[in-house]
Amino acid sequence: MWRLIRECAPLDENSLYCNLLQCTHFADTCIIGEIDGEIAGWISGYRPPQNSDVLFVWQVAIRPSARGEGLARTLLLELLASRGCNGVNCIQTTITDENAASWALFRSFSKRMNARLRFELLFDRMRDFKGDHDSEYLVTIGPFDRE
């Protein structure tokens, strides 16, 4: 996953240690997609302790050669159907203005789930990142019926 994320600019590259923790501590809310035995996609997420009905999607990484085939949405749907997401009826993530692929994925997912998509500024470029990172918008989809 760590190497995949490095191939998926502009995703933030976390440390290998961070990704290993995601694979162990949050294994029930992460998913890998393979094509021909090779890792082609990865979604990492967690359920915030104060909002157990929410899945916060931390990162979505799809190998460049596998993009445009619906893999990210398929992985997201499979993750929601997993035991680790029992009781989840809402998804949250953060997206920068310029990340067209993420906006397209989550808008498509919102339509697929017949659920409302809302967004608001969460982390401001200047206030929170001192100009070193684009502003991040908190995107909320739901509530939705998982059936």
Domains of the chain (ranges, CATH numbers): 2-141 (3.40.630.30)
Q: Residue 59 and residue 43: Cα distance in Å, rounded?
A: 6
Residues 49-98: tens digit of each pLDDT: 999 999 999 999 888 888 888 999 999 999 999 999 999 999 999 999 99
* pLDDT at residue 66, rounded to an integer: 85
As to burial, measured by CB atoms within 10 angstroms (0-12 exposed, 13-18 middle, 19+ buried), residue 123 is middle
Q: In 8-146, where does DSSP find H-type helix?
A: 16-25, 71-81, 100-112
